[in-house]
Amino acid sequence: MKYDLVVIGAGPSGYAAAMRALDFRKKTLLIEKSKVGGAGVTNGALSSKTWWELSRETAAFRKNLKRFNIQAPSVNYQEIQNEVRRAVHERKHMLEEHMTLLRESNYHSLLDFKTGTARLINQHQVEISQGAQTEVVEADYVILATGSRPRYLPELPIDEKIVMTSDGIENIDDFPESMVIVGAGVIGCEYATIFAGFGKTKVHLIDKGSRILPFEDEDVVKIIERNMENNGVLIHRNSKLIRMEILHGRVEYELEYTDGSKEVFNVEKALVSVGRVPNLEDLWDDSVGITINKRGIEDNDTQTAISNIYAVGDLTADISLVNVGELEGRYAVEKIFGLPKRKLVYENISNIMFLSPEVAGVGLNEIQAREKGMDYKVVTLDYSVIPRAIAKRNTQGFIKLLVTHDDAMKILGMKVVGNHASSAIQAVAVLISMDKGIEELAECVHPHPSITEGIQECVRMLMGKSLFKPTALRGRISCRSYAGGAYSDIVF
């Protein structure tokens, strides 16, 4: 069989690529080894975020009952787990049903789907194996989208039952009474937030540095760390894991701190969260000539060293996010069969960290701006001056907006920490992609009360016409410039 395009992998990137190819009326084959949706659905984005939503609701319910001096009921792990599995099944079923219906529609001659392990024999031939059966298909173009898996550390006794990665953590039988998480990046911190939020697990978090999330600005980390510790999380700062073993069905681990001291701990479970590695094994014959580096496949705007072969999603060294993978999958198809309207850019990519509170961002943060040697203006507005946050009885959080250090004040980035964070950043993401300044936001009429009103107040502050003045509400709002390696207040 001959195809215009063969897509290997039906995770977020591959699925998006196949669907975009249909728009060009191209004969397309989508191949998946195991589960449609990939880590974007199973043991990944959707499943972990469903856990987070249920944990957040549980924590809020417990807090509200405490307000009325009512004892909170016990949380049933199996029911929580079943709810997560129902969410995963719902999404997978929708993706599969969508493909089935497409093959019964006006796209019936364009889309094929095969289950099996795919391997590039040469530049234009793909071998598909399922058990003892194999077949070879021809392809004008190939998109590789096989995703990634959790990184294993060989010195740790990972068995996916007691010492686990994200592939095994959701299959445990009950809330562990204690758990250590190795890795204080986004995923490790999200799982710490999830298990601490249910109130059933004493969570330990190993951090080799002085604070978690080292890539985030200090004001963001301060809130997250405080909430974690208030929820009982023990953060091992400035620590190095020097030993971990399974003893009598539990986990014993030893830490060495930067001052040279050592300490031994014993917990029920361990979660290893130290990044992910691309699924590249046996994906192509050595004669194909695709080049790789330490982080994955080398590519130029999704195109590999072989002109008709493209790589998207977690296989490349770009940002490992579902929305980025989908963007790259769609872009690769547009590059193959059409002319993209613009070059693939990542500056306006929105991201969410499912922590307590929620953290959403787009563009640069202050650390990144300083690393680039940029001067900038930055305004920060505390949630305590936003009516919607007051109405929700939760004023923990802030909005921070970065703009260029000139009269144009083009938007560099924004961070929102707190309730409704993810819904507050999209307008700014659009303006960043358009390379626009803040005046576009200044006169928008926002619904009242809403968190986005805080964004408008930030913009007006930078323009010297805010409702609240920074010199009067110090500690709640600030408007500063960063130039020549130093901060100074902006006074109008």
- 19 Cβ neighbours under 8 A, 6+ residues apart: none
| Residue 92 near residue 35, CB atoms below 8 Å | yes
Instruction: Domains for the chain: give ranges and CATH numbers.
Output: 2-43+83-150+277-337 (3.50.50.60), 163-274 (3.50.50.60), 357-489 (3.30.390.30)
Query: Which of 9-18, 117-126, 291-300 shows the lowest mean pLDDT across its residues?
Result: 291-300
Tokens in use for 226?
A: 């405080």
Segment 203-228 shows an average pLDDT of: 95
Of 158-167, 227-236, 367-376, 429-438, the least confident: 429-438
Q: How far apart are alpha carbons 300 and 316 in whole angstroms?
A: 10
Query: Residue 55: in which H helix or E strand, if any?
Result: helix 45-67
Q: Which of 29, 32, 33, 19 is CA-nearest to residue 139?
A: 29
Is residue 38 pLDDT above 90, yes or no? Answer: no
**What DSSP assignment string belongs to 370-436?**
HHTT--EEEEEEEGGG-HHHHHTT----EEEEEEESSSS-BEEEEEEESTTTGGGSHHHHHHHHTT-
Least confident of 11-15, 60-64, 136-140, 205-209: 60-64
Only one residue has tokens 């929305």, namely: 323
Q: 237 and 207 in contact (C-beta within 8 Å)? A: yes
Query: Taking residues 79-103, what's their average pLDDT?
Result: 94
- When pLDDT is cut at 50, 70 and 90, the band that residue 66 belongs to is confident
Q: Residue 483: beta bridge partners?
A: 486
pLDDT higher than threshold 80 for residue 441: no
pLDDT tier at 1, thresholds 50, 70, 90: confident
pLDDT at 347: 72
Find the mean pLDDT for residues 459-480. Answer: 91
CA distances from 250 to 99, 109, 136, 166, 179 (A): 44, 55, 48, 18, 10
- Please give the helix or strand (H or E) that residue 91 lies within, else none: helix 77-102
Structure tokens at 68: 């009325």
The residues, any chain, with a CB within 8 Å of residue 174's CB and separated by 6 or more, are 77, 78
Tell me the percentage of the chain whose pLDDT exceeds 70.
Answer: 100
Residue 14 pLDDT class (50, 70, 90 cuts): very high
* pLDDT-wise least confident of 138-142, 203-207, 342-346: 342-346
* Range with lowest mean pLDDT among 71-85, 327-341, 435-449: 435-449
164-168, 186-190, 295-299: lowest mean pLDDT where? 295-299
Alpha-carbon dihedral of residues 145, 116, 129, 330, nearest 10 degrees?
-30
pLDDT for the residue 406: 92
Evaluate the omega torsion of the peptide bond into residue 154 and state whether it is cis, within 30 degrees of 0.
no
139 in Cβ contact with 27 (< 8 Å): no
Summarize pLDDT for 182-215 with one digit per residue, the tens: 999 999 999 999 999 999 999 999 999 999 999 9
In SS3 terms, 329-381 reads as: HHHHHHHHHCCCCCCCCCCCCEEEECCCCCEEEEECCHHHHHHCCCCEEEEEE
Q: Residue 6: its pLDDT value, please?
A: 98
At 266-295, the pLDDT tens digits run: 999 999 999 999 999 999 998 898 998 888
Decide if 474 contacts 380 (C-beta within 8 A): no
What is the Cα–Cα distance from 421 to 428, expressed in whole angstroms? 12
